[in-house]
Amino acid sequence: MAVFEKSQQIVGTSEGGYQNNPQDSGNYYMGNLIGTNWGISAPVLASYLGRIPTKSEMQNLSRKTAEQILKLNYWLKNHFEKLQNQSVATLLYDGAVNHGNSGMRSIMLKVLRSFNISMSDYQVFSLKGISSLNRLNQRHLFNAIKSERTERYKKSENKQFLTSWMNRLERIQFYSNNSIAGIWPYAALVCDGIGLILITL
């Protein structure tokens, strides 16, 4: 089963510190420019606090608290811990953080239709939906999700973010759970009968 900390290690590299770009809709709540920090948008922090957050509260949001919010609001809420493949879980979790839960469900409805699977919006990340995802060929599923996310980015009117969005997707690569690459994605050690050789993957 997928592990939050492994996925967060990758997603966290795409979600840096505080920013309040006025062109980013996620930085606003109730008309107030609050900003975003560690992947936590203004609406998400408002939901967590139960009130309108201040700009200072967003700026001072600790990474530890942010990860607690991310885990609760995106990982556990969508049952990603039930996914069998870590790469698929990372791609879905990253998408939920970046597109929002509803946006990622919309993407997945298109992906599922490409596999001739029909379900309602609320079922996508239900236990039933996750079970359906686990039964699919994981590499094919990963590629389909990545392709659909790419198309969504390209259709966005915010072209200024396109390069960073594509770099974000490129950081997430597919590894089967029993692949050594899934444990050590950049290199592998093999024995040639004489000694160990380092091979770049």
Angle at alpha carbon of residue 107, lines to 106 and 108, rounded to 5°:
90
pLDDT category of residue 178 using cuts at 50, 70 and 90: low
- SS3 of residue 51 by DSSP: coil
Question: Which run of H or E residues covers position 104?
Answer: helix 101-114
pLDDT, tens digit, 9 for 90 and up, residues 65-106: 999 999 999 999 999 999 999 999 999 999 999 999 999 999
Q: What is the pLDDT of residue 153?
A: 97
Domains located in the chain, CATH noted: 4-18+61-175 (1.20.141.10)
Q: How far, CA to CA in Å, does 95 sit from each of 39, 54, 100, 108, 154?
A: 11, 26, 7, 10, 15
Asked if residue 127 lies in contact with residue 139, where contact means CB atoms within 8 angstroms, the answer is: no
Would the pLDDT of 1 be above 50? yes
Residues 32-41 as b or e (16 or more Cβ within 10 Å = b): eebbbbbbbb
